[in-house]
Amino acid sequence: MYTTGKDYKLAMAMGLSFTALTLCSEYSLVSQWVKVEDWAALEDVVPGMERALWFLTVVSILLNIAPLLLELKNKK
């Protein structure tokens, strides 16, 4: 959207919102597993998902910051 000249701030807000909702839903899932004491599910899923969620969150933040940095670069 940035390269076509369209307003990209709504898309950025949506991207960060989806990232936040994904993290909240994952936390909810893990919370449910703790409540029912499903330790096998926690041991199986959480270590891999932790790395994936950190990676995808960092990517989401970088993708949402990139248009702002490009805009600042073009203004100079």
Q: Average the pLDDT over each of 9-13, 25-29, 54-58 and give the range with the smallest value.
A: 9-13
Residue whose C-alpha is closest to residue 56's, from 26, 11, 32: 26
pLDDT digits 0-9 by tens, 39-65 = 999 999 899 999 999 999 999 888 888
Confidence at 4, pLDDT banded by 50, 70, 90? low
Q: Is the dihedral of CA 36, 41, 47, 51 positive or negative?
A: negative
Residue whose C-alpha is closest to residue 8's, from 73, 69, 75, 76: 69
* The model scores a pTM over 0.85: no
Residue whose C-alpha is closest to residue 22's, from 55, 63, 47, 44: 55
